[in-house]
Amino acid sequence: MHPSVSSITSLQALKRSCAQLRELEHDGIIARVIYPEVPPKVKYFTTELGKTMHNVINAMGEWGNMYRTVAEQKAFVQLPVDH
Protein backbone atom coordinates (compact mmCIF):
# COMPACT_ATOMS: atom_id res chain seq x y z
CA MET A 1 0.00 0.00 0.00
CA HIS A 2 1.36 3.42 -0.98
CA PRO A 3 1.10 6.36 1.40
CA SER A 4 -1.24 9.12 0.33
CA VAL A 5 0.03 12.48 -0.86
CA SER A 6 -1.61 14.19 2.12
CA SER A 7 0.12 11.88 4.62
CA ILE A 8 3.49 12.49 2.94
CA THR A 9 2.86 16.24 2.98
CA SER A 10 1.86 16.10 6.65
CA LEU A 11 4.99 14.13 7.52
CA GLN A 12 7.17 16.62 5.64
CA ALA A 13 5.51 19.53 7.47
CA LEU A 14 6.05 17.79 10.82
CA LYS A 15 9.73 17.17 10.04
CA ARG A 16 10.16 20.80 9.00
CA SER A 17 8.49 22.03 12.21
CA CYS A 18 10.67 19.76 14.35
CA ALA A 19 13.80 21.02 12.58
CA GLN A 20 12.75 24.64 13.13
CA LEU A 21 12.07 24.00 16.83
CA ARG A 22 15.48 22.34 17.23
CA GLU A 23 17.16 25.32 15.54
CA LEU A 24 15.33 27.84 17.75
CA GLU A 25 16.27 25.80 20.82
CA HIS A 26 19.91 25.59 19.69
CA ASP A 27 19.97 29.38 19.21
CA GLY A 28 18.56 29.98 22.70
CA ILE A 29 15.28 31.51 21.49
CA ILE A 30 13.10 28.79 23.02
CA ALA A 31 13.61 26.06 25.62
CA ARG A 32 12.04 22.62 25.82
CA VAL A 33 10.62 20.81 28.82
CA ILE A 34 10.04 17.05 28.53
CA TYR A 35 7.49 15.57 30.92
CA PRO A 36 7.89 11.91 31.95
CA GLU A 37 4.40 10.84 30.87
CA VAL A 38 2.82 8.28 28.60
CA PRO A 39 2.24 9.36 25.93
CA PRO A 40 5.29 11.63 25.97
CA LYS A 41 4.60 15.31 26.51
CA VAL A 42 6.88 18.16 25.45
CA LYS A 43 6.32 21.87 25.98
CA TYR A 44 8.29 24.78 24.58
CA PHE A 45 8.59 28.21 26.10
CA THR A 46 10.24 31.47 25.14
CA THR A 47 13.58 32.19 26.82
CA GLU A 48 14.63 35.65 28.02
CA LEU A 49 16.49 36.08 24.71
CA GLY A 50 13.39 35.04 22.80
CA LYS A 51 11.27 37.53 24.72
CA THR A 52 13.51 40.35 23.46
CA MET A 53 12.24 39.53 19.96
CA HIS A 54 8.58 40.06 20.90
CA ASN A 55 8.26 43.59 19.46
CA VAL A 56 10.02 42.61 16.23
CA ILE A 57 7.81 39.56 15.72
CA ASN A 58 4.65 41.56 16.43
CA ALA A 59 5.74 44.26 13.97
CA MET A 60 6.34 41.60 11.31
CA GLY A 61 2.88 40.16 11.96
CA GLU A 62 1.26 43.59 11.66
CA TRP A 63 3.14 44.24 8.41
CA GLY A 64 2.04 40.85 7.07
CA ASN A 65 -1.59 41.56 7.90
CA MET A 66 -1.38 44.97 6.24
CA TYR A 67 0.30 43.57 3.14
CA ARG A 68 -2.23 40.73 2.90
CA THR A 69 -5.05 43.28 2.96
CA VAL A 70 -3.36 45.34 0.22
CA ALA A 71 -2.69 42.21 -1.87
CA GLU A 72 -6.31 41.06 -1.50
CA GLN A 73 -7.56 44.49 -2.60
CA LYS A 74 -5.29 44.43 -5.66
CA ALA A 75 -6.47 40.93 -6.56
CA PHE A 76 -10.10 42.03 -6.24
CA VAL A 77 -9.55 45.07 -8.46
CA GLN A 78 -7.78 42.96 -11.10
CA LEU A 79 -10.51 40.32 -11.38
CA PRO A 80 -11.83 40.09 -14.94
CA VAL A 81 -15.39 41.24 -15.44
CA ASP A 82 -17.65 38.95 -17.48
CA HIS A 83 -19.95 40.69 -19.97
Please say whether the beta carbons of 68 and 48 come within 8 A: no
pLDDT at 79: 60
| 83 within domain boundaries | no
Give pLDDT tens digits for 37-48: 999 999 999 999
Which residues is 46 bridged to in the sheet? 30
pLDDT at 80: 65
Alpha-carbon gap, residue 1 to 16, rounded angstroms:
25
Domain that includes residue 16, residue range? 5-77
Average pLDDT of the residues in 42-56: 97
Average pLDDT of the residues in 62-66: 91
| 16 within domain boundaries | yes
Number of domains making up the chain: 1
- Does residue 72 carry a pLDDT above 70? yes
| 23 within domain boundaries | yes
Please say whether the beta carbons of 30 and 47 come within 8 A: yes
